[in-house]
Structure 1
């Protein structure tokens, strides 16, 4: 397909305003996993098409951080081995293979493979720092690095991983990608700086929340999916659509995570339930509920100092439709992500990219 035809196709899909209900695989957006006969989507089945890529990534991750300091390596091994689905590097591989087909590439380049490793290192480094800033004791059901090794090691391990990923990033020798991924690290910092003075701010707007969510989650997914397309050598319009796919999927994931904070137990979450609310970090369900319930504003103002105030706040968030409206927001972003994929020809890789959108929504059905 010529670059001009690619660009035209992308412009048409970007201009769509109606939600896309049917995927190239025949599945439907906004799934109801409770429907009779419907089998819940498995991440492992979605990622089977890039399982060899992910296996190579897992083999490389521990060695790629280097061996200068045994304590730092031990910390890295702990968090790399703490579970997790490797969704971010998997998205890199899926977009890489979907766009490589367009460009006529038979195999992924070394740049594609190294990009996925860099993305996972950056994500891991951000988790280490997040856990220190939030004083989190658990991550994926295991003790956090700063609980095991102390704050000093956790901060240094995160710094080391950021530095190591930056070194590998520079060696990719692609200025556009270097700028794109470097912005992600800046966004992480900007998000944390903006969040601190905004705790318990009951006047936070949905737009401010989405910007914060972009900094926290969607910046990394959008930059990584666009960078993957850049390394495939496809047109700039397709690269831009891959950026928007990563952005919309990332925002949808963050909204779903924020919903689960109110609907799942500590055992299911692998961390305390309603932990963001306790810390004053007001997310989509809270923002929507605040529009309808004045009592919730008073409770948040008190910063949950009274007995039973947290439980009452959670009850009001459910009662006022905060959860339902947040679900609608997650589905809205999911519809946009599906539209962004219409630039790609049908393939098993595109089907898995669509499936990732479906999987995310199934978490709240």
Structure 2
């Protein structure tokens, strides 16, 4: 199943959001314009704008108003990726050179800063202070998550709880507020926006766990980057943490991770990946992702039945079975 099959009824409105996304980064400074366009042209699933529009379907749907949420949230997500690529020293994303790779770290960081600033300026067009409060709080938490990830690079002693808190901040919160703010911008009842937040949070947690699994199970063609990139960059993800809990694997896997750490960023991760694939780490991580999806679907039960609800259910199933 492809995402376009799931939200085909939103295509016209998503096309409008996409056009506004490109208009929003127009700037007289040529280099800044070029780097921002390079980032947006790398594509992406545009899940966050989709969640905003679907959240808006539970209230007074108004595309002009919802665009002031959908576009900034996608910009914030894109800006975070630029910064991530600098921190992770990543040379490709979605099969294309990253901004830091094509230009340099300084250009990438200023590009990310510019896109963040544009996002915040667009949100101000909505006069609802609750929207500003929710979004600013999420941005603070995302920044904390970034710092925690840096702190835990190659930290094989970190707990599963620390990992879950980190992905909550780095990934799940922005998806959660995408659903929530779409509803709030459409003047949906408070209880509806809360249920949508819970849905988005749980989908976001499952999304990141699946992303971490794909990094180990996927191919370079599927991922747009070499498998094992997370380990190579120092990100110790959930399946790795679970594999490290197995007595027979712990010491040899620790040695492999130490060798990767000692490498120059292009270390061979194939032996470590094979160890993890042969462990219970994969199935345990998959089981936890399943649980988050179950919670997400449960959050939708009290919402009125409509096409948006069906789309949200379909997206949850897609997230938990995606191969890209």
Separation in structure 2 between the aligned mates of residue 349 and residue 323 of structure 1, nearest angstrom: 32
Does the alignment pair 1:209 with 2:163? Answer: yes
Q: Residue 54 of structure 1 aligns with which residue?
A: 14
Contact kept in structure 2, 1:115 and 1:228, CA below 8 Å: yes
Contact kept in structure 2, 1:92 and 1:225, CA below 8 Å: yes
Q: Residue 78 of structure 1 aligns with which residue?
A: 38
Q: Residue 242 of structure 1 aligns with which residue?
A: 196
Q: Residue 187 of structure 1 aligns with which residue?
A: 141
Contact kept in structure 2, 1:181 and 1:224, CA below 8 Å: no
Residue number among 69, 91, 94 corresponding to 2:29 in the alignment? 69
Separation in structure 1 between the aligned mates of residue 91 and residue 259 of structure 2, nearest angstrom: 25
| Alpha-carbon shift at residue 49 of structure 1 (Å) | 1.6
Residue number among 173, 177, 182 corresponding to 1:223 in the alignment? 177
Q: Residue 283 of structure 1 aligns with which residue?
A: 237
Residue number among 278, 281, 294 corresponding to 1:335 in the alignment? 294
Question: Which is further off, 146-155 or 242-251?
Answer: 146-155
| Alpha-carbon shift at residue 157 of structure 1 (Å) | 1.2
Separation in structure 1 between the aligned mates of residue 82 and residue 256 of structure 2, nearest angstrom: 31
Unmatched segments (≥5 aa) in structure 2: none
Q: Deviation per CA, 1:256-276: give whole Å up to 9, x if none.
A: 000001111222210121111
| Alpha-carbon shift at residue 362 of structure 1 (Å) | 1.9
Residue number among 250, 254, 266 corresponding to 1:294 in the alignment? 250
| Alpha-carbon shift at residue 124 of structure 1 (Å) | 1.1
Q: Residue 318 of structure 1 aligns with which residue?
A: 277
Separation in structure 1 between the aligned mates of residue 53 and residue 289 of structure 2, nearest angstrom: 24
| Alpha-carbon shift at residue 300 of structure 1 (Å) | 3.0
Separation in structure 2 between the aligned mates of residue 350 and residue 277 of structure 1, nearest angstrom: 37
- Matching of residues 12-23 of structure 1 within 5 Å: none
Separation in structure 2 between the aligned mates of residue 309 and residue 224 of structure 1, nearest angstrom: 38
Separation in structure 2 between the aligned mates of residue 71 and residue 278 of structure 1, nearest angstrom: 30
Separation in structure 1 between the aligned mates of residue 100 and residue 154 of structure 2, nearest angstrom: 26
Contact kept in structure 2, 1:252 and 1:330, CA below 8 Å: yes
Contact kept in structure 1, 2:243 and 2:250, CA below 8 Å: no
Separation in structure 2 between the aligned mates of residue 156 and residue 200 of structure 1, nearest angstrom: 27
Contact kept in structure 1, 2:13 and 2:63, CA below 8 Å: no
Q: TM-score, normalised by structure 2?
A: 0.93
Contact kept in structure 2, 1:327 and 1:364, CA below 8 Å: no
Unmatched segments (≥5 aa) in structure 1: 1-40
- Matching of residues 141-180 of structure 1 within 5 Å: 141-180=95-134
Q: Residue 31 of structure 1 aligns with which residue?
A: none
**SS state at 1:173 partner:** coil
Structure with higher RCO (Cα < 8 A, 6+ apart):
1
Q: How many residue pairs get matched?
A: 319
When Rg is computed on C-alpha atoms for both structures, the one with the higher figure is 1
